[in-house]
Structure 1
Amino acid sequence: MEGFEDIQPLPITTELPDELCRIMYTDEYKETMGIARALIQKQEYSKRALDLTAKAIGLAPAFYTIWNYRFDIVMHMADQDEDAARLLNGELDWVDETTLNNPKNYQIWSYKQALLERHPSPSFKRELPVLELMISDDMKNYHVWSFRKWCVLFFHDFTHELSYSDLLIQKDVYNNSAWTHRMFVLKHSNPDQKQIQLELEYVKEKIQQVPQNVSSWAYLQGLYENFLSGSYDTSIVQFAQMLTNNVTESPETAQTSWPEIDSSYALEFLATVYAKKDSTKKKAVKAYQALADKYDSIREPYWQRQISMLE
């Protein structure tokens, strides 16, 4: 390979005749990885080694050893550069370009974290555009959401997060990733009771828009369990009852005549609330039975299990 004439590539295969399953590497791959192995062995931290890792990552984006070698090279260069921030910013730019072609590559995101941890002046603002681009491309990309959460904690910056999750929820109220991120932000930002009351009104509004949405009901329950000591007030019970046609309040109903309701998740919510007190456990049993009989019969064994735990 040009520029590496002085390097004897190390073999990446054993070439043993009794190999169970020999991998058919291309000549380009064998040459590139063979040179990379030789450079790693020599502990060479040069510009040409850095360029080679870019080629190797292009051939095998998930090759952890090459990512680790690249990091060692960059750190070595940063230690010798008077403007380490400029060098690391350039490396972050390169990572962003690579990320666009490998959005679900775990190594990329851990590599970015390692760079930011060593950066003399890291910036969350710099990370936001690529994060928003990646999330808009795939709303459920676990790696991107995990990295965003890491950034929020690393930079101790919650400024953008509630408004950003709201934007995503407005676009798609079923976006469970956005609801989960919103709860994550609340758990780590120490909201006061006024903020929690605003969140309760927020999620109730979203539930009224789409009653049959498990994400918003889970968020509502999370608010009570995490910030209100699991103490469900009368108003929220009445709110859920309105969406269940008061199934739990009516006289005993035959299995074949359960009324229509707006939300099975509202009924599950009520069952959870009622199961907390001995005085309302019968209502919880009725709610679970209604779910088993009609509103969520596909999970009948689960609902029957819930009933057995109460009786």
Structure 2
Amino acid sequence: MASSIPYSVRPEWADVTPMRLPEPERVVAIQYTAEHAEALGYFRAVLQSGELSERVLTLTADMIRFNQADYTAWRVRWLCVQKLGSKALEEELAFTHAVMLENAKNYQVWNHRRLCALQLGPSVADREDEVTREAINFDEKNYHAWAHRQAIVKMTERWQAELAIAEEFIRRDVRNNSAWNQRMFVLKHMPSSGRDDAAWLRSELSYVAEAIRHAPRNEAPWRYLTGIFATLEPWSSQPHALSCHFDVYTICTEALLDCPSCAPAYDVLAQYYEGLAGLGEARGAAQVESQAPGARDNLPAIVSSVLQACEMAQGALDEAAVADPMRTPYWYHRQRGTAHIMAATTAMLT
């Protein structure tokens, strides 16, 4: 990646006086090699002078070779690239690819490549697709590669293609939470105008149900299921939208028939009943506040339905605590929430 010729004998650096490193602390001193220490002296000098040039770009390559996580070297490198122009930007794609081959989960290299790619524009889309696929094929849960794809697809708006890629990786491994996250990212950002929301939701819930049938205890599709209603419009703006769709109840109960100790199913089933209780509580509060004659006539039935939903939620949370005892404090916390709803709703009758 870089030359091993000492900087002190390089003619292009003859006009620079390296800055001496401070005396090392006695405790936990950083152990630099002689080569690294020399390069660092020159790097500190150009930091002080603010120089941004071709030779500083070369120096940063050395600094990164010594320590690929040196965020200061990456930052100075980006400033140099910006000053040197489009040719340097193109060359950076090759440089970052070489670093990725050594350390595919280095945050700094992906951040630097993203800056360059976004500066170059949509023309790099195919190249970035190839590079990120290479990284993801090596490690299908490489968060940095997936995040890089998100930046590129937002720039190019190749939403349908990215949706197909996420689906491809989900087919390979239904437990790939990164691919599920990518699917949610695409659906959140891609245009949905003209879509039949009801038909789309039925199709998506069917897709999730099929994934759950393959691996009921796999958290990824369950989190994706709840994310549909929490993240995507028009459902995210509707109170307790998850509880307004009986298909969610069906998915949970079918999963529990196949896998009676499925904690994620009990979790979502409890959310379903908690939402029903919340909707009922809101209806009851509206009746209490209404001044219309006979407005409170249906209140006992509403309170009864809320209490029943809370009891079902608490029962599901009891089962979740048995299936997943490590999260027992969380399940109890949820049960306390339903207990508050029960108390508040019962008070409406007084």
Fold match by TM threshold 0.5: yes
Distance 2:50 2:330 in 1: 58
Distance 1:27 1:10 in 2: 14
Number of matched residues? 290
Are 2:309 and 1:310 aligned?
no
How far did residue 116 of structure 1 move?
Answer: 2.8
CA contact (8 A) 1:274 1:283 kept: yes
Distance 1:236 1:111 in 2: 42
CA contact (8 A) 1:29 1:59 kept: yes
Summarize deviations over 1:2-58 as a string: whole Å, max 9, x none: 344514442352237x75544332110111122223334444444333222212211
The TM-score normalised by the length of structure 1 is: 0.83
Q: 1:35 and 1:287, CA in 2 relative to 1: closer, same or farther beyond 3 A?
A: same
Choose the corresponding residue for 1:300, options 324, 328, 341. Answer: 328
CA contact (8 A) 2:107 2:144 kept: yes
How far did residue 175 of structure 1 move?
Answer: 0.8
The TM-score normalised by the length of structure 2 is: 0.75
Aligned-partner SS, 1:13: coil
Write out aligned runs for 1:264-303 (5 A): 264-278=263-277, 279=305, 280-292=309-321, 294-303=322-331
Q: Match for residue 40 of structure 2? A: 33
Q: Match for residue 95 of structure 1? A: 96
Q: 1:169 and 1:5, CA in 2 relative to 1: closer, same or farther beyond 3 A?
A: closer
Q: Match for residue 10 of structure 1? A: 18
How far did residue 156 of structure 1 move?
Answer: 2.8
Distance 1:114 1:12 in 2: 32
Q: 1:151 and 1:210, CA in 2 relative to 1: closer, same or farther beyond 3 A?
A: same
Distance 1:40 1:154 in 2: 33
Range with greater deviation from structure 2 (94-103 or 137-146): 137-146
Distance 1:208 1:6 in 2: 69
Write out aligned runs for 1:24-103 (5 A): 24-78=31-85, 84=86, 86-103=87-104
Distance 1:196 1:235 in 2: 10
How far did residue 283 of structure 1 move?
Answer: 1.0
Distance 2:90 2:97 in 1: 10
Q: CA RMSD in A?
A: 2.5
CA contact (8 A) 1:243 1:262 kept: no
Aligned-partner SS, 1:54: helix
Q: Match for residue 155 of structure 1? A: 156
Q: 1:63 and 1:12, CA in 2 relative to 1: closer, same or farther beyond 3 A?
A: farther
Tell me the amino acid that sits aligned with residue 152 of structure 1.
Answer: V
Distance 1:282 1:149 in 2: 42
Distance 1:297 1:178 in 2: 28
Summarize deviations over 1:251-305 as a string: whole Å, max 9, x none: xxxxxxxxx716332222111101112322211111112222x322332232222
Identity across the alignment (%): 30
Aligned-partner SS, 2:200: helix
Q: Match for residue 254 of structure 1? A: none
Distance 1:238 1:41 in 2: 65
Q: Match for residue 126 of structure 1? A: 127
Range with greater deviation from structure 2 (90-99 or 37-46): 37-46
Q: 1:306 and 1:113, CA in 2 relative to 1: closer, same or farther beyond 3 A?
A: same
CA contact (8 A) 1:7 1:38 kept: no
Are 2:190 and 1:185 aligned?
no
Are 2:245 and 1:233 aligned?
yes
Aligned-partner SS, 1:62: coil
CA contact (8 A) 1:200 1:223 kept: no
Distance 2:189 2:245 in 1: 24
Choose the corresponding residue for 2:223, options 207, 210, 218. Answer: 218
Tell me the amino acid that sits aligned with residue 250 of structure 2.
Answer: Q
Q: Match for residue 255 of structure 2? A: 243
Distance 1:72 1:298 in 2: 48
Summarize deviations over 1:46-78 as a string: whole Å, max 9, x none: 433322221221112122222222222222221
